[in-house]
Amino acid sequence: MEEERFKVTDRRHHAADSPSPQGTGAPDLSGLLVMLMGWALIGLGEAPDPATGERRLDFPQARQAIETLRLLRETESESGLLEELLYDVQMRYVRIAKAAGG
């Protein structure tokens, strides 16, 4: 049986790379927004579920992620990224839901 191989890439910012608070290794809002976008994409079958590697439709998961992004949009200063992510995932939701008959 062939051994599975994978590569781990550390994409965290380090204090030496940037003077911003993101350089501390602490979670940041951009990471949260991208994570929510990922949950929406997984729920829409646009990305594989990391646990199973399979694509599936889970409209409640996608809807919850989208609604969380919408809530954050109302209160967040990083609205440019949020607007971009929210628009993208909402358009995908509508397209995929229509195609699935939902």
Over residues 84-95, the pLDDT tens digits come to 888 999 999 999
Residues contacting residue 34 through CB under 8 Å, at least 6 positions apart: 85
pLDDT at 25: 66
Predicted confidence (pLDDT) per residue in 11-20, tens digit: 444 433 434 4
Which of 5-9, 15-19, 61-65 shows the lowest per-residue confidence on average (mean pLDDT)?
15-19
C-alpha Rg value of the chain to the nearest Å = 16
DSSP annotation of 3 reads: P
- Domain positions in the chain: 29-99
Pairwise CA distance, residues 74 & 26, whole Å: 23
